[in-house]
Chains A and B, each alone.
Chain A
Amino acid sequence: MRLSDWALWVFTIAFFIFMILPIAVVVVISFTSAGYASFPIPGWSLKWFARIFEYEPFMNSLWVSLKLGVIATAASCLLGVPAALYLSRSRSGWATAITAFMLSPLSMPMIVIGFASLFFLSRLGFGVSFLSLVIVHTVICLPYVIRTVTAVYRAIPPAYEEAAQILGASRLTVFREVTLPLIRPGIAAGSLFSFLTSFDNLPVSYFFGSAQTNTLPVVMLAYMEHQFDPSIAALSTLQLVFAVVALVVADRLYGIQKMTVAT
């Protein structure tokens, strides 16, 4: 190997140590036997995992976050899949503009979306409620569904659907038997990103916090501001494991190739 190649590899390895170390440390701390968060840990135990199941605010907010993620993702699919089907087959200038508009919630500062929505939804009478959370989360999840479904559907030649139509299939049959199975990987990938985004969101959910609507990240933030114990580490580790498992399952079902096309 050349010297420059060595330098590049050393740099890359240093980079990944930088990337992985802060995360790995948290995973290790979640198994600590100590009563405080420090590294290296004095011994191993599972007590902090037990603690999060005993601490009611964590469990209540986890339930809120799970419900919210599922409902916002379902709403995003209902709104986003038809829109994506339309937009991917249209090459006109304004279809490009509309696609850009529909993806634009990704580019707006989350804190502004959260702050503005709180006031607007309060004026509409929704206020700080679970329904408000669902609405705002759908705004930020919808782009993921539209993006992945558009990418997948664009790669599918229209000939498949045309063939089915010529052979006498009705519009609905073509959709059910041809289009839907072909775009399923896009819907799966979009739903996965959408759910993970909703589940992890803090800057928007923060504005809609109340005893009934606190999501898990909001409760974790509040907890961290007062205490610094390893239960936050245990929760984070569980969340990471959950995300990795979801990604691996989606990969097994639909293949990493199609998933990366979609991103």
Chain B
Amino acid sequence: MLDAVKNSARARRALLLAPALIFLAVFFVMPLADNSARSFLTEDGGFTLSRYAAFLTDRFYLGVILETLILSAAVTVISVVIAYPVAYVLVRKAGRLSGLIVFLLIAPLLTSIIMRTFGWQVLFARRGLVNQWLVTDLGLLDTPLRWLNTPGLAIAALVHVLVPFAVLSIASVLQGVDRRLEEGALVLGASRIRTFFEVTLPLTVDGIGTGAILVFMIANGSFVTLVLLGGGFQTLPLLIYQQFNTTRDFALASTMSTILLVIALACLWLQLRLLRRQGV
């Protein structure tokens, strides 16, 4: 009797979950499954692996996958290296200024990707502010440099979008480091630098990991920055965008998005493992 009551209460509570679960199953899982299925189907409905075989043996497409991964990895490494000192200042040094720092980190997240790209285009135009500084004001160069459509500027713009996520991830782990461990190392005669590299840094590896995966995942899927700022990159999202717009080979685009999806799922799995280790 009691069990029946308990079970019906549990069933009633599960109804709270049902609408969201059904909605996501139909409008999130099914489109992705449908899309992947298309990449395995021949024109007349049979099963084929030929697209993947072609994709993974073609030098050009292999290059695209590799370039996607390398670009994301580069953006991730740069973001983490830049983010760490900033997170360290935010948690350890800023004191009353920490509110301001958090605000300055969050404010860019409120701006559109279009706004930021527009800003980069203006700053680095041929007669833009940066060339004016370099040539006229500082006299470092004789002729203005061409910045737009260079890989460097595209990478800088991607870092600009993603680095706040890395700072916030690292800061949250740094906050939890037990400072007595550092004091212990100092008391026992380790230098500040040695204490940092042998105590603080290892204790924050998880934060670096979560931040890095987050940045990598977002970088892997981003294309608007690359469409507008150029840089000559050939990445999976850019190619999907082009297939959709011009070539219109939708089965190929499905193949590419399935590969992108698999990479994203692998990242998600890693992220969940890391978070579980942190006990979140």
The reply to whether chain A is a binding partner of chain B is: yes
How many whole Å from A144's CB to the nearest CB in chain B?
A: 13
Nearest B residue to A107 via CB reads B268
Question: What is the predominant secondary structure among interface residues of chain A facing chain B?
Answer: helix
Q: How many residues of A contact B (CB 8 A)?
A: 75
CA distance A237 to B164 in the complex (A): 20
Q: How many residues of B contact A (CB 8 A)?
A: 72
From known contacts A83-B19, A104-B268, A236-B112, infer whether A109 and B88 are also in contact, taking CB-CB under 8 Å: no
- Using a CB-CB cutoff of 8 Å, which residues 124-174 of chain B contact chain A? 125, 127-129, 160, 163-164
How many whole Å from B25's CB to the nearest CB in chain A?
A: 9
Residues in chain A near residue B117, CB distance under 8 A: 224
Residues in chain A near residue B125, CB distance under 8 A: 38
Q: B85 near A11 (CB under 8 angstroms)?
A: yes
How many whole Å from A73's CB to the nearest CB in chain B?
A: 14
A200 within 8 A of B: yes
Nearest B residue to A244 via CB reads B110
Which of B26-34, B40-48, B49-57, B203-211 contacts its partner?
Answer: B26-34
Q: B118 near A111 (CB under 8 angstroms)?
A: no
Residues in chain A near residue B122, CB distance under 8 A: 25-26, 29, 37-39
How many whole Å from A125's CB to the nearest CB in chain B?
A: 14
CA distance A115 to B264 in the complex (A): 16
B199 within 8 A of A: no
Q: A15 near B23 (CB under 8 angstroms)?
A: no
Question: What is the predominant secondary structure among interface residues of chain B facing chain A?
Answer: helix
Residues in chain A near residue B30, CB distance under 8 A: 120
Q: B271 near A26 (CB under 8 angstroms)?
A: no
CA distance A119 to B39 in the complex (A): 13
From known contacts A108-B32, A217-B112, A236-B114, infer whether A142 and B85 are also in contact, taking CB-CB under 8 Å: no
Q: B257 near A116 (CB under 8 angstroms)?
A: yes
Residues in chain A near residue B223, CB distance under 8 A: 111, 203
Q: In the complex, which of the residues B114, B220, B254, B271 has the most CB atoms of chain A within 10 Å of its own CB atom?
A: B114
Instruction: Choose one: A26, A79, A102, A117; the contact of B115 (CB below 8 Å).
Output: A26
Q: A22 near B17 (CB under 8 angstroms)?
A: no
Residues 100-127 of chain A: 1 if any B CB is under 8 Å from the residue's CB, otherwise 0? 1110110111111101110111010000
* B-binding residues in A (CB < 8 A): 4-5, 8-9, 11-12, 15-16, 18-26, 29, 37-40, 78-80, 82-83, 85-87, 98, 100-102, 104-105, 107-113, 115-117, 119-121, 123, 135-136, 138-139, 142, 146, 196, 200, 202-203, 207, 217, 220-221, 224, 228, 232-233, 236-237, 239-240, 243-244, 247
27 CB-based A-B contacts, threshold 8 Å: A8-B93, A12-B85, A16-B104, A21-B119, A22-B120, A23-B116, A26-B119, A26-B122, A38-B122, A39-B128, A79-B23, A82-B20, A83-B17, A108-B32, A109-B237, A112-B261, A113-B31, A115-B240, A119-B34, A120-B27, A121-B31, A202-B112, A203-B221, A224-B114, A236-B111, A243-B111, A244-B107
What 10 A-B pairs have minimum CB-CB distances, sorted nearest first? A109-B221, A22-B119, A236-B115, A116-B35, A120-B31, A83-B20, A82-B16, A243-B110, A86-B16, A116-B31
